[in-house]
Amino acid sequence: MGLVAVCSRSTSRCSYACIMVTMMLLHAYMPCEAHLSSTFYDKMCPNALNTIRTSIRTAVSSERRMAASLIRLHFHDCFVQGCDASILLDEAASATSERNALQNLRSARGYEVIEAAKSQVESICPGVVSCADILAVAARDASVAVGGPTWTVKLGRRDSTSASLSQAETDLPRFTDGLEKIISLFDNKGLSARDMVALSGSHTIGQAQCVTFRDRIYNNASDIDAGFASTRKRRCPTNDGNGNLAPLDLVTPNSFDNNYFKNLIQRKGLLESDQVLFSGGSTDSIVSEYSKSPATFNSDFASAMVKMGDIDPLTGSSGVIRKLCSSIN
């Protein structure tokens, strides 16, 4: 304030210099904008990543499906309020828990795996590593555990103190969405149609509940292979078995590969929102490309996961580091 006052009284010859000095001093006292960095915990918690990796490998080795669940959990976190671990807050912590959104209810899973990894990290570095970062690292480690690509995870996210049920129901894709709707939802998060198709390739692993694909296998539409539909009907009757599971990729359900895209070309996409990626629309060529080149798919998937992990993180003094991922400190 003093320097500004002096400048205001200075002659025109020195006023410019005074203003410039003032701006430099003010800038020196402004907090630097925080950025994500892969080395964020190198000094604060050097064993964090190894600890998370061991925990995730243990979980996936006991249940291969968990790999798909953890990748999906990270995706559903980042699409609502950014990558802030808001999806991990339970009903006791937030009346608007995202766990109750239609797109998450009785399908999002792996919460206890993230909580276990958090507990392990807390035992060596209390109050340092965020749940949001653990979830981002877990998605990468889950991919690797089932033969998928790896990528460098940028770190330094902090955890939210709130969740948004309404935003979850608005911003997360639904299994009945058409192609343009899905492209729009991803575009709203800064992700391209190519990113969307690559990320959809995570459906090369994991399973879906009968209730999510019943309409597709019984409507006898031209975009579904008749033999495939018949096979899926065996465990998905017309009026029962809503929770019965079927692999999203019938060929190699537990391996991360490019068979998902080959299935789409053969009209064997399990969900409606899968098959629309290859149905005469703008993404057909991308599906064809990935079906022929697993290396291209793996590379694009890794790049898209990094981009998704950059969606609106809380950094610096924003947010908190939760002690338990399911509750606010």
Binding-site residue set for Ca(2+): 77, 80, 82, 84, 86, 98, 204, 249, 252, 257
* Contact between 213 and 175 (Cβ < 8 Å): yes
Catalytic residue among 27, 35, 74, 76: 76
Q: What count of other Cβ atoms lies within 10 Å of the Cβ of residue 85?
A: 32
Q: Which residues are annotated as a binding site for heme b?
A: 203
Do β-strands 245-247 and 207-209 pair in parallel, antiparallel, or remain unpaired? antiparallel
What is the rounded CA–CA span in Å between residue 195 and residue 69? Answer: 19
Q: What count of other Cβ atoms lies within 10 Å of the Cβ of residue 64?
A: 16
Q: What does each C-alpha distance from 230 to 250, 253, 267 come to in angstroms?
A: 13, 18, 13
The residues pairing with 320 across neighbouring beta strands, listed in sequence order, are 159
The token duo for 277 is 């990626």
Q: Which residues are annotated as a binding site?
A: 77, 80, 82, 84, 86, 98, 173, 203-204, 249, 252, 257
Q: Which residues are annotated as a binding site for substrate?
A: 173
Q: What count of other Cβ atoms lies within 10 Å of the Cβ of residue 123?
A: 9
Q: Indicate if 74 belongs to the active site.
A: no
Q: Which one-letter amino acid corresponds to residue 249?
A: D
The token duo for 88 is 């991990």
What is the rounded CA–CA span in Å between residue 49 and residue 177? Answer: 36
Query: Which residues belong to the active site?
Result: 76
